[in-house]
Structure 1
């Protein structure tokens, strides 16, 4: 059996469905915070509550041979915590390590940890993409907590023999995507003009199906044990090109005003939104050569195919 944490989330939910579809005989334990949801046959829901340093995973881990850990405290737009970094550490580091310790004690063979490209950093220079073996350089509390969780898991793996696999995705999009990506698609569908017609950057993204496909491979591939992998669609685009491609997937023209990126960054800095402008105008590229080489993996979906599925999901 395979345990998936965060099974009602964007990535965890898609992974549960894929695992069940791949092998009808395989049983999947879906760890959830609270009960009350209905699940297809073969998926075993297990209510574990919040991810904390003291969560009891005994029942969820019974008979499990591998864990994919998707649950986490993610970026909070209006964080009211007195110490945000400490709260990220409590959930993402201590909570994760608590699960991994119990998994090792229960005889789990492999632990796949969904980390974040934020462990590498927030931006790349032209022609210098992040690689899986770069020295970590996180800048925000979420990225720091993911880095510290990776380090704690490596120490535990060295002590116990648990096979650890770390996957660091960039922005994940797909049917059901929320936040800024969904808002951007809605703006385009309404025909709203956007001042993003001259953004000359390069960003890596990963379609939900592509990320899930890699996670499935990491569950069993012999060469995955002990490794860190980056993942993307294998094609980097500027924000301007991305918007145009979304428009093509929608079958409608997009209205992009040719405002230089430097102007947008200046205006954003004036109103305290420098980070927003950086995500729109800055570059963030990842190199997936190691993932391709060691695992023989290729993204099943192209960028355009992933965008088409995402747009179709928005329409539903």
Structure 2
């Protein structure tokens, strides 16, 4: 999304409609016993420690995207109460994903960008198939509250990109760009997307924009999935290298790489 209105329209209004439908079914005794909401680590807020942000930490979003996700949780939580279980994944990757596709495409030429000149920028990540496993775990009757999910690792963003490059048989040149420069490029990208929208051009907002910059200028994005493992038996099946290999093979099958 280019701004607050995009996220409010796409997330909050949809959540209100779903909550109303759920309450109508509930009044008729036909509502399901459980709803699993896939939210985002953006609703939790940034964290740069290897242990990661815990399930009991209060939500502290820094972007319009993150605030809209937290609003969805609150809207549905008021309607469903304890019948709602929330899953907050970090970076999700895998074949079919379009969010990270531009990074994979850039790494075909061996180049990727990390935010900040002298920062490690640690992140958590998880393959899409393991997110599916986590969702199934959250359907168990003992599931409750908010769970974070990851693949068990904590990666510097540069190392995450190098794993992408390895899966494509490339060597990665990591450009560590100043935050002021990235902020300027995000502003220009957002203005360009807004201009196209004003001219009636339909389509996806630019992947890089001011809202993504608000997240990129933080110190890191890590989370703790220990409660999901201990309470619900979640166990990731794919390592980072295995997951990246699957992603690359899938992109190539679809003709995207």
Q: Per the shorter chain, which TM-score range?
A: 0.7 to 0.9
Q: Does 1:283 align with 2:211?
A: no
CA contact (8 A) 1:85 1:142 kept: yes
Cα distance in 1 for partners of 2:43, 2:218 equals 20
Partner of 2:164: 246
Q: Does 1:298 align with 2:235?
A: yes
The structure with the larger Rg is: 1
Cα distance in 1 for partners of 2:113, 2:71 equals 38
Partner of 1:222: 141
SS in 1 for 2:102: helix
Call closer, same or farther: CA 1:164–1:195 in 2, change over 3 Å.
Answer: closer
Map 1:135-154 → 2, pairs under 5 A: 135-154=58-77
SS in 2 for 1:222: coil
Partner of 2:183: 269
User: How large is the RMSD of aligned CA atoms in angstroms?
Assistant: 2.7
Q: Does 1:315 align with 2:237?
A: no
Q: Which structure 1 segments of 5+ residues have no match?
A: 1-75
User: TM-score, normalising length from structure 2?
Assistant: 0.76
Cα distance in 1 for partners of 2:228, 2:106 equals 35
Cα distance in 2 for partners of 1:138, 1:194 equals 26
Partner of 1:201: 121
SS in 2 for 1:206: strand
Cα distance in 1 for partners of 2:105, 2:112 equals 12
Call closer, same or farther: CA 1:129–1:102 in 2, change over 3 Å.
Answer: same
Q: Does 1:178 align with 2:98?
A: yes
Map 1:1-316 → 2, pairs under 5 A: 76=1, 78=2, 83-84=5-6, 86-88=8-10, 90-104=12-26, 105=28, 106-121=30-45, 123-127=46-50, 129-158=52-81, 163-179=83-99, 181-189=100-108, 191-196=109-114, 200-219=120-139, 221-224=140-143, 226-257=144-175, 259=176, 263-271=177-185, 272=187, 275-276=212-213, 278-279=215-216, 282-316=219-253
Please, which moves more after superposition, 209-218 or 98-107?
98-107
CA contact (8 A) 1:132 1:230 kept: yes
**1:86, distance to aligned residue in structure 2 (A):** 4.4
Question: What count of residue pairs does the alignment treat as equivalent?
Answer: 226
**1:133, distance to aligned residue in structure 2 (A):** 1.1
Select the structure that is richer in helix: 2
SS in 1 for 2:31: coil
Q: Deviations over 1:255-313 (max 9, x none)?
A: 335x4xxx521322344467438528741000011111111211121111111110111
Cα distance in 1 for partners of 2:245, 2:40 equals 24
CA contact (8 A) 1:124 1:284 kept: yes
Q: Deviations over 1:217-248 (max 9, x none)?
A: 222x2221x32111111112112111111121
Cα distance in 1 for partners of 2:225, 2:41 equals 12
CA contact (8 A) 1:264 1:277 kept: no
Q: Which structure 2 segments of 5+ residues have no match?
A: 188-208
**1:91, distance to aligned residue in structure 2 (A):** 2.5
CA contact (8 A) 1:201 1:283 kept: yes
SS in 2 for 1:286: coil
